[in-house]
Structure 1
C-alpha cells in the first residue's frame, strides 16, 4: 500500500542518513583532532586517566624547568669557585716566594692585592637568577645557607583510592663555599692556631768569656680552618688568630764550661712567645714584613691558611660538581617520565589514523548512497500522479 501521508521508505532512508552523518561527524572530529577520546562522553575512564597524566606531565615539565634553574645556579657558583681557586693558588705561590729573604715583598704585595681584588670581583658577580652563593649577607632576614633544590614530582594512590602528590627536594649547604659575608660578625676571630717551640740549647762558649748566647730559633705551628657557623664569616673575610712561639735572640740559663774552675757564669735572657697575629686572607699584607723569624713564620702562617682554604674550597667545588651531575640526572629522569606519560596518553586517546581514514571514506560513500536512497523514497509519491492522469 502506498500512502500520501506516511512514506515509510523515506523515513527509513532519512534515519539511516542521519546515523551516517552522525558517524561521519565523529570520524571528522577524530581526523581533525587526532584523538578518539576528546571528552568524557567519548570514554569516561580513558578520558579521566589521560587528563590526570596530562596534568602530571605539566607538573613534571615545571619540575624539569626548576631543576634547570637550580642547575644553572650551581654551575654558576662552580664556575666562580673554579676561578677563585685558580687565584688562591696564585696567591699561595706569591706568599711562598715571599718566604725568600731576598724577595721584594712590596712588589709581591701589589700582585697579592690585585689577586685579592680579582677574587672579590668574581665573588660579588657570581650571580644567577638573583642568587649569589659566594658573597652573602648571613645577617639578612630569612637567610639560610642550606638551599633546597627541586628534584622530582611523584603521585601515589592509597588503598582507599585517594591520590596524593609529592614534590621532592635535595639540599645543598652553601656554607662550604661561602667566601665573603657582609655580617658584622665576619670580623670576629675564628680558629686559634698554636705552635710548640723546640727545647732551648745553650751554645758552647770560649773559656773565661762572658757572652750573650745566641738562640735564633723558630717554632713550628699548625693551622686549622673550621667552616662552623657563628663567629666566622666567609673563608676570605674571617679573621684567624695564629699564635706561635718565636724567641728573641738569647735565652735564660747558666752555661758552665766543664773542667774549668775559673769559668764565670755566662747568662742569657729568655725570649718570650710572640703575640698572636690576627689576619684574614682578604686583608693580608706582607709589604712591611722583615726577614726576622717572627715575620717569616707569619708569612708561613699565611701560606698554611691559604692552602687549608684551598683544600676546603676544593671539597666544596667537588660537592657542587656532584650536585650538578645529580641535577642533570634528575632532569633527564623527569624527561623520561614525561615521555612515558605522553606515550600512555597516546595509547589511551589517540586515534588510529589509518583506520579512521578508511572509515571516513566508507562513510562518505554511505552518505552518498543514503542521499540517493532518500531521493528514491521521496520520488515514490510523484509516481502516483501518473495513475490519476
Structure 2
C-alpha cells in the first residue's frame, strides 16, 4: 500500500538514525571525558561505588601525608636522643679525666657546663611540625595510621600507632606532662649513687670529690641506659609508621585502579565504536533519503 500520509519506511529509517545518533553522542562523550560513567545518569550503581572509593582515596591520601610527617617527627626525636647519648659519653670522658691525680677540675667543670648547654640545646631544637618528643610536653603521642570506614552500625574510625614518650628535659609545652627537673637528664640517680645528677646543669662540684665523680659516672650510665631504651621505642614506632605509610600508598594505588576499572572508558574500544557509528549514521541518512523519495513515486501514477 502506497500512502502520502504515512511513510513507514521513512519512520523506520528515522528511528534507526535517532538510535545511531544517541549512541554516537554517548561514545563522543566517553572519548571527550575519558569516562564511560561520568554521572549517576550513566550507571547509578557503578557511579555510587566509584564515588565511595574516591572518597576513601581522599582520606587515605591525607593519612599518607600524615604518616610522612609522623616519620619526620620520629626521625628528629631519634636524632636528638642519639646526639644526647653522644654528649653523655663525652661527659663521662671528662668526668673520668677529673679522677686523674692533678687534674684541673676547674677547666673540666667549664667543659662540663658547655656540654650541659649542648644537651639543653638538643632538646630545644628537637622540634618538628610543632611536636617535640623529648621535652616532656606530652606523655604519649598517637600517630594516625589507618582508616576504618563505617559498615552497618559500626562507625568510621581512625586507627593510630602510639608512642609512650619520655622526657629528656621536662617542662616543655604549655601544659607539660613531665615537670621541669624530672626529665631523664635532670634527675638521674643510679642504684647505689648517693645523690642524683642534673646533667643539664653540670659544674665543677660534680667532679669535686671522689664520691661526686663516682656518682656522676654511675648516673651517666643510667642516663645512657634510659636514653637507649627510649631510642629503641622511637625506632620501633618509626618502623611501624614507615611500614604503614608504604602500605597506605599501595592501598591508595589499588583503589585508584579500582575506580578506573569502574568508570574509565576503554579508548581503543571507544574509537573503534565511533568509526562504526559514524558509518552507520551516514548509511542511516542515505536510508532516510531513499525512504523519503518513495512518496515522490506516487506522482508518477497521475501522469
The structure-2 alpha-carbon separation of the partners of 1:357 and 1:50, relative to structure 1 and needing over 3 Å to count, comes to same
| Whole-Å separation in 2 of the counterparts to 1:365 and 1:326 | 59
Greater Cα radius of gyration, structure 1 or 2: 1
Q: Give the Å deviation of 1:73.
A: 0.8
Q: 2:148 aligns with which of 144, 149, 154?
A: 154
The residue number in structure 2 matching 1:235 is 184
The structure-2 alpha-carbon separation of the partners of 1:288 and 1:56, relative to structure 1 and needing over 3 Å to count, comes to closer
| Whole-Å separation in 1 of the counterparts to 2:180 and 2:35 | 64
The residue number in structure 1 matching 2:108 is 108
Instruction: Flag structure 2 segments of 5+ consecutive residues without an equivalent.
Output: none
1:27-38 matches, cutoff 5 A: 27-38=27-38
The count of corresponding residues between Structure 1 and Structure 2 is 299
Q: 1:145 aligns with which of 133, 139, 143?
A: 139
The residue number in structure 1 matching 2:253 is 339
Q: 2:171 aligns with which of 179, 182, 192?
A: 182
| Whole-Å separation in 2 of the counterparts to 1:281 and 1:119 | 8
Q: Give the Å deviation of 1:174.
A: 1.2
Q: Give the Å deviation of 1:167.
A: 1.2
Map Cα deviations across residues 320-368 of structure 1 (whole Å, 9 max, x no partner).
1111111011011112222222232233333333222221111010011
The residue number in structure 2 matching 1:313 is 227
Secondary structure at the aligned position of 1:151 is classed as strand
Query: Is the contact made by 1:60 and 1:338 (CA closer than 8 Å) also made in structure 2?
Result: yes
| Whole-Å separation in 2 of the counterparts to 1:388 and 1:3 | 14
Q: Give the Å deviation of 1:314.
A: 0.9
Query: Is the contact made by 1:105 and 1:288 (CA closer than 8 Å) also made in structure 2?
Result: no
| Whole-Å separation in 1 of the counterparts to 2:60 and 2:20 | 42
Query: Is the contact made by 2:187 and 2:196 (CA closer than 8 Å) also made in structure 1?
Result: no
Q: Give the Å deviation of 1:103.
A: 1.2
Map Cα deviations across residues 200-222 of structure 1 (whole Å, 9 max, x no partner).
xxxxxxxxxxxxxxxxxxxxxxx
Secondary structure at the aligned position of 1:20 is classed as helix
Secondary structure at the aligned position of 1:23 is classed as helix
Q: Give the Å deviation of 1:229.
A: 6.0
TM-score by length of 2: 0.88
| Whole-Å separation in 1 of the counterparts to 2:190 and 2:160 | 39
The structure-2 alpha-carbon separation of the partners of 1:163 and 1:20, relative to structure 1 and needing over 3 Å to count, comes to farther
Q: Which has the higher strand share?
A: 1
Secondary structure at the aligned position of 1:281 is classed as coil
Taking CA–CA contacts closer than 8 Å with sequence separation of 6 or more, which of the two structures ends up with the larger relative contact order? 2
| Whole-Å separation in 2 of the counterparts to 1:60 and 1:381 | 66
Q: Does residue 379 of the first structure (1) align with residue 293 of the second (2)?
A: yes
The residue number in structure 2 matching 1:203 is none
Secondary structure at the aligned position of 2:204 is classed as coil
Map Cα deviations across residues 90-146 of structure 1 (whole Å, 9 max, x no partner).
111111111112211111122212222122112111110011122245xxxxxx311
Query: Is the contact made by 2:23 and 2:277 (CA closer than 8 Å) also made in structure 1?
Result: yes
| Whole-Å separation in 2 of the counterparts to 1:297 and 1:172 | 37
Q: Give the Å deviation of 1:302.
A: 0.7
Deviates more, 1:357-366 or 1:149-158: 149-158
1:122-137 matches, cutoff 5 A: 122-137=122-137
| Whole-Å separation in 2 of the counterparts to 1:43 and 1:242 | 73
Q: 2:164 aligns with which of 164, 167, 173?
A: 173
Query: Is the contact made by 2:144 and 2:158 (CA closer than 8 Å) also made in structure 1?
Result: yes
Q: Does residue 357 of the first structure (1) align with residue 271 of the second (2)?
A: yes
What do you get for the CA RMSD once the two structures are aligned?
2.7
The residue number in structure 1 matching 2:213 is 299
| Whole-Å separation in 2 of the counterparts to 1:288 and 1:335 | 52
Q: Give the Å deviation of 1:22.
A: 0.5
Map Cα deviations across residues 236-264 of structure 1 (whole Å, 9 max, x no partner).
233759987xxxxxxxxxxxxxxxxxxxx
| Whole-Å separation in 1 of the counterparts to 2:133 and 2:5 | 89
Secondary structure at the aligned position of 2:182 is classed as coil
1:228-267 matches, cutoff 5 A: 233-238=182-187
Deviates more, 1:109-118 or 1:375-384: 375-384
| Whole-Å separation in 2 of the counterparts to 1:338 and 1:70 | 18
Q: Give the Å deviation of 1:303.
A: 1.1
